[in-house]
Amino acid sequence: MSSPSSSTVGMPRQALQQEQIGQTAIVLLDDGGIESLSMRRLGSRLGITAAALHWHVRSRHDLLLLAADTVWGQIPLPRLEDLEWRPALLAMADNLRSMLSRHPWLLTAMTLQPLDGPCRDRHDEHLIAFCETSGLTRQDAEQAAHSIVAFALGAALATAPGRYVSFGLQSILDGVEAGLAAHR
Amino acid sequence: MSSPSSSTVGMPRQALQQEQIGQTAIVLLDDGGIESLSMRRLGSRLGITAAALHWHVRSRHDLLLLAADTVWGQIPLPRLEDLEWRPALLAMADNLRSMLSRHPWLLTAMTLQPLDGPCRDRHDEHLIAFCETSGLTRQDAEQAAHSIVAFALGAALATAPGRYVSFGLQSILDGVEAGLAAHR
DNA sequence: ACCTGAACACCGTTCAAGT
DNA sequence: ACCTGAACACCGTTCAAGT
């Protein structure tokens, strides 16, 4: 994304480097939080200077963006044919919750800048798709999906003791069901 | 909290200083986010050195704690006698939302450390109290209150376009009502 | 009690210069 | 194309020393 993309065949070194940089950044972030990810520290883990790292990635912000979308990509997405919408949405919410507990720094990063990325987008679309299989219109499905993500993020932020999570989420799903009944 | 508390009458200088420090910190935080609050910068706003600031406040973390509880204290709490539980909970959720939009750095701070404080506690208790006036048991009221806060925080974090907020929240309130019906 | 100055060990980022 | 070294303008925190 930062290099002018050479005319050679298949991004031979650059892409790999980029991925390795992201993985190593996540290691630093996972133990020590966002404060322990520095250009100098990450550089030395990779065997290069902080200045050299700036050749591969534009800024520390871009680094967070890269790491963030990587962990969004780690969330397993249940297949649309395998589950009914309600257990599917519960499973997706739980997968999100468990990702956030593995990578708590993501919440911090999300408050510092909007973290759009292909994997985040794919996750959102998948959630909306499941909502739609319940019979909701596209618009309502978007609202429901957004509410589920919001609740999962907020519950992680407020460090809910676990059992608290279920009440709000169940209510939202009940709300989906009620919306269905009304539209029919 | 950091001084041994002199034996004189009514915390004459120290308390005022503490409050002034908090207010000035919030000014810095409000325009520029968490990154723009530094001991050096805050110190110079107050006319003292960063080192001098460390005499008043133990660390930058303590500073964030002070600022955070201050803005929690700014949320207006509707009186218990004035409103029915449902409009009251909606109002409290909206007051929280508007505080978070005025002080976006609070979300960042909350992800960095648990931010307990007297004002935050008071807000939680008030929310629980309103839930209890609906007829919920103490335990259920705590779950409902926790869910409302989680949703408000998450919605602010996901930067909902505003209209998205209502669906999830309404569902949670519907869930409260359904819980009532079941228990009766 | 309250503040300064200097020091220590860090930061992100830029840029000329090397290969 | 990829990296280094040095530099710039910052950090939080500690501590001796001043008043």
Q: From CA B146, how far away is CA B128, in angstroms rounded?
A: 8
B96 CB burial (10 A radius; 0-12, 13-18, 19+): buried
The reply to whether the CB atom of residue A59 sits less than 7 A from any atom in nucleic acid chain C is yes
Q: Could you tell me if A129 and A85 are in contact, meaning their C-beta atoms sit under 8 angstroms apart?
A: no
Tell me, what's the pLDDT at A94? 96
Query: Taking 70 as the threshold, does the pLDDT of residue A28 lie above it?
Result: yes
Q: What is the pLDDT of residue B9?
A: 39
What's residue B123's pLDDT?
A: 98
Task: With a cut of 70, say whether residue B152 has pLDDT above it.
Answer: yes
Q: A147–B144: do the CB atoms touch at under 8 Å? A: no
Mean pLDDT confidence for B14-24: 89
Residue lying closest to nucleotide C11, CA to C1': A38
Q: What is the pLDDT of residue B109?
A: 98
Q: Which residues lie closer than 8 Å to A19 by C-beta, 6 or more apart?
A: none
Mean pLDDT calculated for residue range A13-21: 84
Same fold, A13-58 and A76-183: no
Q: What ranges do the domains of chain A cover?
A: 13-58, 76-183
Query: Quick check: B46 pLDDT over 50?
Result: yes
To the nearest 10°, report the CA torsion of B20, B18, B27, B152.
Answer: -130
Which pLDDT score, from 0 to 100, does residue B12 have?
55
Kindly state the average pLDDT of the residues B68-77: 98
CA distances from B112 to A28, A66, A109, A116, A158 (A): 16, 20, 10, 21, 12
**Whole-number pLDDT of residue B165:** 74
Asked if the model's pLDDT at residue A161 lies above 90, the reply is no
CB A168 within 8 A of CB A123: no
In B, minimum Cα distance to A176 occurs at: B171
Question: Which pLDDT band holds residue B146 (cuts at 50, 70, 90)?
Answer: very high
* CATH annotation of B13-58: 1.10.10.60
| pLDDT > 80? residue A155 | yes
A159 touches strand C (CB under 7 A): no
Could you tell me the pLDDT band of residue A3, with boundaries at 50, 70 and 90?
very low
Residue of chain A whose Cα is closest to the Cα of B107: A111
Q: In the prediction, which pLDDT does A11 show?
A: 52
> For B29-56, what is the mean pLDDT?
98
Which fold, A76-183? Tetracycline Repressor; domain 2 (1.10.357)
* Radius of gyration from C-alpha coordinates of chain A: 19
Model pLDDT, residue B84: 97
C chain positions with any atom within 7 Å of a protein CB: 1-7, 10-16
pLDDT level of residue A5 (50, 70, 90 thresholds): very low
> Which DSSP string corresponds to B23-57?
HHHHHHHHTT-GGG--HHHHHHHHTS-HHHHHHHS
Question: What does pLDDT average to over chain B?
Answer: 90
> Six-digit token pair at A14?
């650059």
Asked if the Cβ–Cβ distance from A167 to B147 is below 8 Å, we say: yes
Footprint of strand D on the protein (CB under 7 A): A 3-4, 6, 13-14, 43, 47-49, 51-52, 55-56; B 37-41, 50-51, 54, 59-61
Residue B8 has pLDDT above 50, yes or no: no
What's the confidence (pLDDT) of residue A15?
A: 74
Please count the other Cβ atoms lying within 10 Å of the Cβ belonging to residue B109: 22
**Lowest pLDDT segment from A12-16, B17-21, B76-80:** A12-16
Chain A positions touching B176 (Cβ under 8 A) are: 171
* pLDDT, tens only, A42-74: 999 999 999 999 999 999 999 999 999 999 999
Report pLDDT digits (tens) over B75-133: 999 999 999 999 999 999 999 999 999 999 999 999 999 999 999 999 999 999 999 99
What does the pLDDT look like over A93-121, one tens digit per residue?
A: 999 999 999 999 999 999 999 999 999 99
Q: In angstroms, how far is C13 C1' from A53 CA?
A: 11
Give me the mean pLDDT over the A13-17 stretch.
Answer: 74
Give pLDDT, residue B7. Answer: 34
In chain A, the percentage of residues whose pLDDT exceeds 90 is 83
Confirm or reject contact between B149 and chain A (CB < 8 A).
yes
Query: Is the pLDDT score of B15 beyond 90?
Result: no
Whether pLDDT at B171 is above 50: yes
Q: Over 80: is that where the pLDDT of A10 sits?
A: no
Task: Specify the nucleotide whose C1' lies closest to residue B52 (CA).
Answer: C3
The pLDDT of A135-148, averaged and rounded, is 95
